[in-house]
Amino acid sequence: MVRILTVVGAMIIALVVSWFLRRRQIDAPTQGGFELPVQLDRNDFASPETPWIVVIFTSATCDTCNDVATKAEVLSSHDVAVVRVDYITEPQMHARYKIEAVPTLVVADAAGVVKAGFLGPVKAQDLWAAVAECREPGSSPGSCQQHSH
């Protein structure tokens, strides 16, 4: 009987201590979301004369960045410049555009207005469809644009 009372007493003490410690714990601060740039200075990047630019902000230590960059490089053409901006070699560009997470990919028009973007990993078909939609609104399956007939 003494053992049962000792175990029950120890459990009650453990519950009280646990409750007390939880009350003292401070909630973590609310984390803000990462944001994409909304405007690029096309003169900051190679081929400012092309109608479209895809910029991938990366880091050499990021495997996902390499995957996203490989998918984006396929889009390179006469009308689409694809530029990779690595944090290790160009930290000032990451700071200028307030890039806080990599990979960050943006698609901008000739004026540098960002028309589409992705944070983190992206499927090739989603990326390619987004660029196609930017270049020719209504061209992607499932587009929000109304087709004119």
Q: How confident is the model at residue 11 (pLDDT cuts 50, 70, 90)?
A: confident
Structural domain 42-135, CATH architecture: 3-Layer(aba) Sandwich (3.40)
Arithmetic mean of pLDDT, 116-130: 95
CA pair distance 110, 50, nearest whole angstrom: 7
Res 12: pLDDT: 84
CA pair distance 106, 28, nearest whole angstrom: 31
Q: How confident is the model at residue 3 (pLDDT cuts 50, 70, 90)?
A: confident
Asked if 117 and 98 touch (Cβ cutoff 8 Å), the reply is no
CA pair distance 144, 54, nearest whole angstrom: 22
Does residue 26 carry a pLDDT above 70? no
pLDDT digits (tens, 9 = 90+) for 33-88: 688 999 999 999 999 999 999 999 999 999 999 999 999 999 999 999 999 999 99
pLDDT digits (tens, 9 = 90+) for 58-71: 999 999 999 999 99
